[in-house]
Amino acid sequence: MKSLEFLLEYDRGKTAAAYGEKILAVARQDRWLVDQVAGGNKLGVSFQEAAKKDPARVLDAILAVLEQGDPTRNKEYTQAIAKMYGNGQSKAEDIVSTLADYLAKFDKLKRRKKIQPPRNDFNRYRNLEDFMDVVDEYPNEEVEDKPEEKKNTTELYRDAKLIVLVPHDVEAACYYGQGTRWCTAGKNNNMYDYYTRGDRPLYIVIPRQQAYPGEKYQFHFETGQFMNEQDRQIGEEGMLKLVARFPQLPKILQKPAEKHLTPGLLTQEYKDIVTKSTPEVQKQTVQMIDQYADRIVAFGWKSLSSYGVQLPDPVIADISSDMRDYLAQCVKAMGSFWKQISMSPELARNEDRIENMLSTNAELKAVAEGSVVFGWPGPHKAVDKLKAALAQTGQKIHKDALAHIVELTVRDPLFRFMMKQVAKLYTAKLQEQGHALS
């Protein structure tokens, strides 16, 4: 009896009707697919707007992309692919490249009756990883080239234990990606050009003393992808384990690691500079807050006006005096903030992470909101006065909006000032010693 999948004729419209809602939900978060469907203003409007106004048109375009992952003439696997994608099983870029390669091999094995039931039924697989694990059990019939025949790479490092290189074209990326599930090593719809456009190189790390058969890594700093041969993120923990095995790795990848602030790959020299610079950076930051206090406070009032809320000048002047006191109290309460940066040097130049540290710092929060633990019986005077003044305007402000307005006016100006200035000061200290040069 023929497999059921031979009896199911693929129909794009029926597939859209069956899985369209889920596919659209997943696609909204799939950057590569959005670029394929809407890049270059192909839809005339943004992807999100088009998906809302004309979902049928967008679904048609999405399925046209997903169909590229099916190497068969009759697209006999596409409906199952669409179902998997709608269930969030894989990114579209992996479907049209890596999965297409696996399906080509799978289809050939199936037609030659080398893969037996029920494993020869693609519809039975719950996810792509399970499917690829099965296909990997069968050897590739193609003859592979020898490493020395591949010349278009820059070899950054080679010794008896490790090779680190940068491939400069698709052929090199495919060769050194053999045995992996990287979309940049795919024979179908290879993604090498997509990832490396605009001088965004790929770095391939090959342990010569492997912890397990086939061990390989590919790093792409711009997108924060640090993948093993199974195309799975190794995370900071995996990076630290890799560096423990190959201590030379941070030095080999020093420039991209410092440019993109990659945890686990920063050299000890870099970390030492940050730690030693912290007292001076702290001192300079305190001086700058004092020097630019009036500007910081004025920025807060500008944020308030963006909400259409106007307060009398005498009220603003009165609260501003207390806001300058608030800044002074914050300066005194930042001990744990500076300690956190010293302990995590990769945060020192990351503006977003600095802002997050400030906004979640318990001591700073206590200054504004009040905390008995930190010696504050209640909210700072600036906060109380601002809330009272807003209440007297006669304008109805929702309690959640009120809290946000207070944060924008009192707290956020300091945090936004610090996130930029602290990052600049640390960058300057690192540049003095030849680091953090983008």
pLDDT of residue 1: 35
Q: Find the mean pLDDT for residues 210-238.
A: 96
Asked if pLDDT for residue 434 goes beyond 60, the answer is yes
For residues 141 and 243, which has the higher predicted lDDT (pLDDT)?
243
Local confidence band at 8 (pLDDT 50, 70, 90 cut-offs): low
Report how far residue 415's alpha carbon sits from residue 304's, in angstroms, rounded to the nearest whole number: 16
Local confidence band at 3 (pLDDT 50, 70, 90 cut-offs): very low
Q: Find the mean pLDDT for residues 146-161.
A: 80
- Span 29-54, pLDDT tens digits: 999 999 999 988 888 889 999 999 99
Q: Where are the domains of the chain?
A: 4-135, 147-259, 268-432
pLDDT of residue 357: 93
Task: Identify any residues that bridge with 228 across adjacent strands, giving them in sequence order.
Answer: 217
Report how far residue 126's alpha carbon sits from residue 296's, in angstroms, rounded to the nearest whole number: 55
Question: HSE on the CB side for 174, CA within 13 Å?
Answer: 16
pLDDT of residue 7: 42
pLDDT of residue 150: 55
- Span 276-334, pLDDT tens digits: 999 999 999 999 999 999 999 999 898 877 777 788 999 999 999 999 999 999 999 99
Local confidence band at 399 (pLDDT 50, 70, 90 cut-offs): confident
For residues 336 and 148, which has the higher predicted lDDT (pLDDT)?
336
pLDDT of residue 142: 58
- Most confident stretch, 1-15, 166-180, 371-385: 166-180
pLDDT of residue 407: 87
pLDDT of residue 5: 43
Nearest to 411 by CA among 371, 378, 382: 382
Q: Find the mean pLDDT for residues 405-421.
A: 92
Asked if pLDDT for residue 79 goes beyond 90, the answer is yes
* 8 A C-beta contact, residue 381 and residue 322: yes
Local confidence band at 397 (pLDDT 50, 70, 90 cut-offs): confident
pLDDT of residue 4: 44
Mean pLDDT of the chain: 90
The structure's pTM equals 0.80
Cis peptide before 118 (omega within 30 of 0): yes
pLDDT of residue 6: 40
pLDDT of residue 149: 56
Q: For a pLDDT cut of 70, what percent of the chain falls above it?
A: 94
Which range (95-99, 103-107, 140-144) has the least confidence? Answer: 140-144
Q: Find the mean pLDDT for residues 360-385.
A: 83
pLDDT of residue 437: 66
